[in-house]
Amino acid sequence: MKKIRVGALISGGGTNLQAVIDSCESEKIDAQMVFTGSDNPLAKGLERAQKHNIPWFVVDYKSIINSFNKNPEKAILPNDFNLKKDLLKQALFPKNHPVESITKFIKSRVVAESELLKKIYSFDFDLLILAGFMRKFTPYFIDRINTDPLKPRIINIHPALLPAFPGVDGYGDTFRYGCKIGGCTVHFVDYGEDSGRIIGQKVFKIQKNDNLDSIKKKGLEKEWELYPECIQMFAQGTI
């Protein structure tokens, strides 16, 4: 079977990235890693890419966004950016959220995303995986990766059983709510927050003696199994 070409975006340690790399190199899945990118120059996960001779790059979101906030009128937005269309498509903010705030968010991210796309476009890839990438995408970015609406190709792994507990602290929310079952989810990325179509999930029991750290440990172990499995499903065309 022909291997699909996978690119990854990370922000931190890259343990899910490592699980995918290992699955590729052991030929457990029909995939090969073609790049790793990060918004964070200090992301430890970049060392994993280097160790395995995977091309890597950084687009420093923090620096770009700080520069935008200081002089938004001087920001250079891409020629194909259409603010009106992105405002209509976005689903990260509620309809009653101030338009000025949404506009500022979208414009600042599009400046960073245009740089990210330049890096990504230099590689031939079939699937983009988010492996602990802690930035939200605008419709501008998503539409330029998902060039065929019927074949989305951005997936993310989330530390909760979606649609429960979207957002940045899935395991923490699961623990504080008192759930007896925890888990993780791999899903397609759409215009909302963790709202895309679900590809796969794994669960674990939460015992009386569990704490947040033990729940995170259980969850990560499930994530390292689930992500490669879902990439293989994509490679086989079964999702």
Q: For the chain, what are the domain ranges? A: 4-236
pLDDT at residue number 95: 87
Distance of CA 124 to the CA centre of its chain: 19
Mean of pLDDT values over 128-148: 97
**Tell me, what's the pLDDT at 217?**
98
Using one digit for the tens of pLDDT, what is the confidence trace for 8-39?
999 999 999 999 999 999 999 999 999 999 99
pLDDT at 1 over 80: no
Average confidence (pLDDT) over 136-154: 96
State the chain's mean pLDDT as an integer: 97
Domain 4-236, CATH: 3.40.50.170
Which of the four pLDDT bands, split at 50, 70 and 90, describes residue 235? very high
Structural contact between residues 123 and 35, judged by C-beta atoms closer than 8 angstroms: yes
The string of pLDDT tens digits covering residues 28-76 is 999 999 999 999 999 999 999 999 999 999 999 999 999 999 999 999 9
β-strands 198-205, 181-188: how paired? antiparallel
Task: Note if the pTM is more than 0.75.
Answer: yes
CA distance 177 to 38: 32
Which candidate in 52, 97, 158, 187 is catalytic? 158
Q: Which amino acid is at 161?
A: L
Residue 149, pLDDT score: 83
- 146 vs 236: CA distance, rounded Å: 18
Tell me the H-state helices in 14-164: 15-25, 45-51, 61-70, 83-89, 99-120, 139-145
Q: In what order do the strands lie in the sheet with 198-205?
A: 56-58, 31-38, 4-10, 127-130, 154-158, 181-188, 198-205
> Residue 90 — pLDDT band, cuts 50, 70, 90?
very high
Alpha-carbon distance 146 to 229, whole Å? 21
As beta bridge partners, residue 181 has 205
Backbone angles phi, psi at 58, to 5 degrees: -130, 135
pLDDT, position 143: 97
DSSP 130-198: ESS---PPPHHHHHHH--STTS--EEEEESS-TTSS-SS-HHHHHHHHT-SEEEEEEEE--SSSS-SPE
158 is catalytic: yes
